[in-house]
Amino acid sequence: MIRPLGDRVLVKKLEAEEKTASGIILTGKAKEENTPQEWEVVAVGPGEVSDDGKTIPMDIKVGDKVLFGKYSGTEIKYQNEEYTLVSQKEILAVVE
């Protein structure tokens, strides 16, 4: 498994819905446009280390659903799975 360092968070994109709320089945481009920008947190680092050497705890935890900017993070592939590694500072919100 991948263990993020510092204040980094490993996330995996949630799958797009196959149907709309009204029951219309989506295909191709329509499915892409309906894709939520939500990501599920798979792993988190221990936290950022401050100038005085103390670890600042993470606000994000495994299982959280988060939103971040379109061009944030680094895409990686590990054991045929696609993930994105992003700094906690780049996460805009937690979806509740």
CATH of the domain at 60: 2.30.33.40
The distance in angstroms from the start CA to the end CA of the chain is 26
Supply the pLDDT for residue 24: 64
Supply the pLDDT for residue 18: 58
Per the CB < 8 A criterion, the answer to whether 57 and 18 are in contact is no
| Domain ranges, residue 20 | 8-95
Q: How many domains does the chain have?
A: 1
Per the CB < 8 A criterion, the answer to whether 26 and 16 are in contact is yes
Residue 35 belongs to a domain? yes
- The residue ranking higher by pLDDT, 1 or 16, is 1
Supply the pLDDT for residue 14: 82
- Please report the beta strands in the chain, taking only residues with DSSP state E, as ranges in sequence order: 8-13, 39-44, 48-49, 55-56, 65-68, 74-78, 81-87, 91-95
Supply the pLDDT for residue 30: 46
Residue 3 belongs to a domain? no
Q: What is the pLDDT of residues 23-79, one digit of tens each?
A: 666 555 544 444 457 899 999 999 999 999 999 999 999 999 999 888 889 999 999
Helical ranges in the chain per DSSP H: 28-33
